[in-house]
Structure 1
Amino acid sequence: MPAASQPRSLSIRIGERLPMKDQSLEIVEKKGKGHPDSICDCLMEEASCALVQLYQKYTGRILHYNLDKGLLSAGQAAVAFGGGRIITPLRMIIGDRATLHYLGQELPVWDTVVESARNWIRRNLRYFDPDQHITFQSGLNPGSRELMGIFTPSERQVLKANDTSATVGFAPFTPTEELVVSLEQYLTSACFQEKFPSAGEDIKIMAVRSDQALDLTIALAMVDRFIASESDYFDQKEAISRSIADFVRSRFDASPLQIHINTLDERGRGEDGIYLTVTGTSAEQGDSGQVGRGNQVSGLICLMRPQSGEASAGKNPISHVGKIYNYLAHILAADIYQHVEEAGEVMVWLASRIGEPIDQPALVAVELIPQRGKKLAAGYQKVIAWRVEQHLEGIGDLSQKLILGEVSLSHLSF
């Protein structure tokens, strides 16, 4: 193995706690793609990819932008058994910074952003009409000259960091985390939606594992056009609950297993006492959304693990460390986990300093937790240093994958 040049500051330590899968308590949350917060994240990420293509088409390079400030303001709906209607459309407020002109020419930034958002909705929310159910408001303005200067062409291929930030990643997923990811995928799968057309895309799963006991609380928006009455609603909810139980038991050995769906429901109140929607998302009336309040880059919200403070969605993929380092931390953790045989769990922290090259982080901190009953083999520090160096040298390749949308926000597989 060639000798690795050290990053500016590499810290390697042995963790003393148990790996998460071996701890007695675990809490994992996931918001489905129809949740208002997830809609915000996905629309801004879609717009980010569209802006990259726009800038490259008109200028041959990526100009300064960051679309990481977005708010989805809930509308008003009148739900009804057999089908209701949208009274007031949702409003999506899109910010923050974008280059609107190049060499005196106005670029079609806003039209590009809005059309990309509508296209995402068409592909992902089957009962939501992007031309009728939502409006868009611009909060886009050019950035500061200092930050825009980071994008000025130079001989250096790797740009400077446009922020001082820190992120964290981990590997591997625990069985609980894997279950939550797969359960959300099942609930939005074609086979499930064909069997239960009343199930919308707005899903929120909260899993609490206490030793081997698993408690699942699930919010699942139901679409009113497929519900004939209150009794029909509860019958369908019970059938969905049985389907979920069968799915979970086939993948997770829980003893006992408890499943709770739409726990605010109250019999006897008709349409006013159950979780009904017109479009399959609570954003039509019940809940607004905001970028950064949804799932982390891992695709989950792992309450028992360290969390990154940066929202990745919408940030530019070539200089914003809040995006690049978020992904890199998870990728590094997964790679180290795979190459250190005795590792039971790996955590990686990355810290940047604004103005410094993104391939030279101010800090790389790695924490290894050995598997139960195992000691780390001699030389593991060299293995880690080498893996870190290789990924930092390849950070441009990661940026390119982010540009092309080849690294998903939803789930990094370990």
Structure 2
Amino acid sequence: MVIQTDYLTERPFEIIEKKGMGHPDTLADNLAEFLSAKYSNYTRKKYGAILHHNFDKIALLGGSSFVTFGKGYLTSPIRVILNGRASTKFGQESISVDRLLIEWSKDFFRKCNCLYGVDIDKDLRFILELSNQSSPGKTHSGALVKKASRRFWFEPRSLEDLPELKRLFSNDTSLGVGYAPLSSLEKFVLNLEKYLNSQKIKKQFPWMGTDIKIMAVKIETEIQITLCIPQIADYVHSIEDYKRNVEECFNMVKALSLREGINLSNLAINTRDDYKVYEIYLTATGSSLESGDEGLVGRGNRITKLISPLNPYSMEGFCGKNPVYHIGKLYYLAAQILSEDIYIESFILGIKFF
């Protein structure tokens, strides 16, 4: 643990990024974590323990779409690659992992409310690349093979083959990094994405998609924010509608920044738009996942739900990892929780905890 007493929470230079709830990387992270939680609860309830699994290599590959003013739809499905490892057997009973993961994945996409108009059964194609092999360490020779549990990690004969129930141990070398408090700009970026993707805003402005991306840069007293905000074609009937919606976004962001005391020097939205040739951020679903873009676990927001490269953080992707023994998840969570708790308890300005 590091207690830094000369740390400036409000730095003269900051770069902060936030990938919104409909961004492909965020969707991949959240799907992986959802599947890990589902699998953990399922096996603990049925077999008395969380069986070995890791879903931290899941990928989402973009489909293709047709988009015009007033209408949009997918022309080829989004591919969901369920890649990872899972226990497929306990004792003499087989576990229908493939079927369960597909069912749970469909449940996730129904509940996440991130992809407008997507037909879960038609517009998603599932590709399963699962293994039940443990990492290197098992052998198939010697008199003690039947007693060695590593050979049976993903097909335990009984709870006796789960060594973590007897002694907790790390399965790897890794590090977890957390810090507190967030700067005022970090808090604003979090609140801005939460506000724009809130149910209240989506009800008031149904044309606004969920794949909202924010980049904030602070240099001394100047703060610049760039946003990508998709619009949903079903609700946008002309280029004039699109322009009005962009202007509405400007107004919302400026109003929130004033309420939170953030003095914006520059605000840019959808800078790649070219109105002359109608190259605009108009989508069928409200996410770039519909057309070519990909999402991978670990490429998105860190444990703080932000990407803040000037603060200490680990490149470890924690979503979807086993919650019992994988330190790539546990150390990361513990570091952030401890940092926040210590800061709240002490509440000393000018001190930062890592």
Taking structure 2 as the reference length, the TM-score comes to 0.88
Q: 1:158 to 1:28 in 2, by over 3 A?
A: farther
Write the distance in 2 (CA, Å) between the matches of 1:343 and 1:29. 25
SS at 2:192's partner residue? helix
Amino acid across the alignment from 1:314: G
Q: Counterpart in 1 of 2:283?
A: 277
Deviation, 1:253, is 3.2
Amino acid across the alignment from 1:135: R
Write the distance in 1 (CA, Å) between the matches of 2:230 and 2:77. 18
Q: Counterpart in 1 of 2:8?
A: 19
Q: Counterpart in 2 of 1:123?
A: 111
Q: Counterpart in 2 of 1:6?
A: none
Deviation sequence 1:156-208 (CA, Å, 0-9, x none):
56521111101211001111111111111101111111221110111111111
Write the distance in 2 (CA, Å) between the matches of 1:40 and 1:324. 19
1:334 aligns to 2:335 (yes or no) = no
Q: Counterpart in 1 of 2:302?
A: 296
Write the distance in 1 (CA, Å) between the matches of 2:320 and 2:251. 38
Q: From 313, 324, 327, give the equivalent of 1:321.
A: 327
How much is the aligned-residue C-alpha RMSD, in angstroms?
A: 2.0
SS at 1:201's partner residue? coil
1:196 aligns to 2:205 (yes or no) = yes
Q: Counterpart in 2 of 1:231?
A: 240
Deviation sequence 1:2-21 (CA, Å, 0-9, x none):
xxxxxxxxx656465x3231
1:260 aligns to 2:268 (yes or no) = yes
Write the distance in 1 (CA, Å) between the matches of 2:152 and 2:240. 59
Q: Counterpart in 2 of 1:171?
A: 180
Deviates more, 1:49-58 or 1:292-301: 49-58
Deviation sequence 1:25-51 (CA, Å, 0-9, x none):
111111111000001011111111110
Write the distance in 2 (CA, Å) between the matches of 1:180 and 1:147. 47
Deviation, 1:147, is 8.2
1:61 aligns to 2:49 (yes or no) = yes
Q: From 119, 122, 127, give the equivalent of 1:132.
A: 122
- Unpaired runs of 5+ in structure 1? 1-10, 349-414
Q: Counterpart in 2 of 1:385?
A: none
- Unpaired runs of 5+ in structure 2? 139-149
Q: Counterpart in 1 of 2:315?
A: 309
SS at 1:97's partner residue? strand
Contact 2:343–2:353 under 8 Å retained in 1: no
Write the distance in 2 (CA, Å) between the matches of 1:19 and 1:70. 37
Q: 1:154 to 1:268 in 2, by over 3 A?
A: closer
Taking structure 1 as the reference length, the TM-score comes to 0.76
Structure having greater relative contact order (Cα 8 Å, sep ≥ 6): 2
Deviation, 1:234, is 0.9
Write the distance in 1 (CA, Å) between the matches of 2:167 and 2:5. 33
Write the distance in 2 (CA, Å) between the matches of 1:33 and 1:155. 34
Deviation, 1:251, is 0.7
Contact 1:47–1:114 under 8 Å retained in 2: no
Deviation sequence 1:256-306 (CA, Å, 0-9, x none):
432211110011112xx1001101110010411111000011111012112
Deviation, 1:213, is 2.0
Amino acid across the alignment from 1:207: A
